[in-house]
Structure 1
Amino acid sequence: MAANIEMNPFSRGTFVGRVWREVVSGPSVVLVREGVVLDVTSRDAPTIRDLLEMDNPVGWLKTRQGDVVGSIDDVLDGNVAGIRLLAPCDLQSVKACGVTFARSMIERVIEEKAAGNPALAAKIRERISAIIGDSLRNLKAGSDQAAKVKAALIEEGVWSQYLEVGIGPDAEVFTKAPVLSSVGHGADVGLHPVSSWNNPEPEVVLAVNSRGEVMGATLGNDVNLRDVEGRSALLLGKAKDNNASCAIGPFIRLFDQTYSIEDVRNAELDLLTTGEDGFIMKGRSSMKEISRDPLDLVDQTIGRHHQYPDGLMLFLGTLFAPVQDRDGAGQGFTHHLGDVVTISNKELGCLSNIVRLSTECEPWTFGTRALMTNLAVRGLL
């Protein structure tokens, strides 16, 4: 599953991540340099968390020689014996922002109004679109214009809790996955067996240290169970947090002279889903249309009101909302087992995963205690 995009971003910029090394029975911090993946794990940086806490991680990485793990292409394709890519985060909390794009917010409202029934979605979508029209384009959350739209929707009887967090002053921020439970590029991603209406969510994910500083960005798939959350927003945990339901990677691109928060604000993400049944779905998410600035989302997550001593990974939400019919007219999209989901961006690379049931994905067994024990045995703590 190599980076299947026209431009290879790994020839420029600073990319860091994690791989599982059988030789040490644990994870290593790696750096991509000149087409080669290098193991740069040390007592200074036994984890990605420690690397991102440095004042100048890019400068520190420039001084590292590292041990060769393999070529970037071979590592991405899983062709290096004893090596597999992991999510490029470790001790960070994994948080996610929901309903950050006003246009895709409508799909959350539809899920709620349809009570998780995809057969009702098309009719509800048509009614809501007739009421709102194009009024949500370029709408900024918390603005006076957003307040006017809110008032109009209440009058029409279609106000929703999703509209509140979509265009109101306060962002929705939730815990997507426990520490160390995210999967990386090439891994299976999991759907809870109770779900029959679900979809991928292509997103930019920020890497934030304990001081609230954004150190870089990567790609993420916020696997979503539309029917479960549609039944009740109180089922958000069941809809979002299951075995292998969070994919991040392939690497974190650190901010340096080649890449900054402005690149995040202008990022264009492509989504390709291919099924064993020959079905193909393409999608796109443009960060230019986000209703809240990425740094505002960071400020709403970490600050005097909430600290993260090991930093956090923050999903920024998606513009993409799947409406393409797959199994029948008016049924919309839902995953089939075996789907290959590929999220790509010319600056961040490509994140590919295969869809399985959460009960069939590899169980998550390597937690914080196991990581600390492994690092201690290796003399890294």
Structure 2
Amino acid sequence: MNKNNVIWQLLLGYVTALGCSVSFAQIQGNYFSHKDWEIACDNTGTCRVAGYQAEGNQPAISVLLQRAAGAQAQVSARVKLDPETFNAANQPLQLYILGKNQGTVQLDAKTAEGQLSAVQTQKLIQALQANQPIVWKGNNKTWLLSVQGASAVLLRMDDFQKRIGTNSALLRKANSSSANVLKPTSIPKVNIQNYSKGLQTRYAVNAPTAKQLFGLIKKKTTVEDCPQLFDANFLEDDRVVVFPINGKNALVEVPCWRGAYNSGNGYWLMDRNLKQIKQSVTFSGSGFSEGQIFSNQRGRGIGDCYSTGEWSWNGQRFIQTYMAKTTQCKGFAGGAWEIPTLVYRVQLDS
């Protein structure tokens, strides 16, 4: 697998082009990035727009705009700084637009994150639409929020939520009613059921059971998906792990690839006798616990952009229940925000 592209594997399954129609019955989440701004809309119809300082500028700052689907939904806004660059216990952060003070935002002392008021949010949106300078000040420091790319992602949000040409649009507003804008849907639920936690079994990669499993898995897998399986370029401490799911099923974990600062495991659902592959789940997993497979991948070595995914056992198979990423690597460890394109409410049945 091309290591530079592996981050994207998590995001292809549910992403569709933003210009495509969106079904009221089943909303398909998607992601878009332009210049210093990015947007992710999820399967409930909620969109999250994040903006940052211009590339190469410091100190780091980010603003998150969030809006649910629906005619009456309003935009909320939060601002976040790198906690190491701002002592929030000393004084609040001040917002300036065109040199005029628009009031203060009190930041959390630990996270350096704060909520804008409704009036400040409206002023901020107006400034973004007009490409006006947005400056934040505090502790004798200045943060410059870039406006480059903001109009493009705001228009994408209006398009996704079917607001263009209506009275609830942020851009291309008109007098048409918002009665037919995208309706919100509730967060879907999945119960982790028919799952019995048990002791895992670990095999050395040269053990007979591991070799038998490799032979079966190769028939259902390509070298691009799991190169280590085919070139046998394993490390000394690599192991094949079998997790019991229930009396009939097991989950097999195999190291699939390594990059400069990432690695990915493959996961296959099999029968308990390890004779039949029932499902290939993912090739970029990071771990398994309590009926869920998790994936956490860094966009670059310093870890300031990330992609995450989750797959949950629903009693019959694994389905993807979470997907989020940030590709704007702007100095926030782990990303400033998680902006998901897929969300589920997952419950482990007792």
TM-score range, shorter chain: under 0.3
Which protein is richer in helix relative to its size? 1
Report which structure shows greater RCO (CA 8 Å, sep ≥6).
Answer: 1
Which protein is richer in strand relative to its size? 2
| TM-score relative to the length of structure 2 | 0.25
| TM-score relative to the length of structure 1 | 0.23
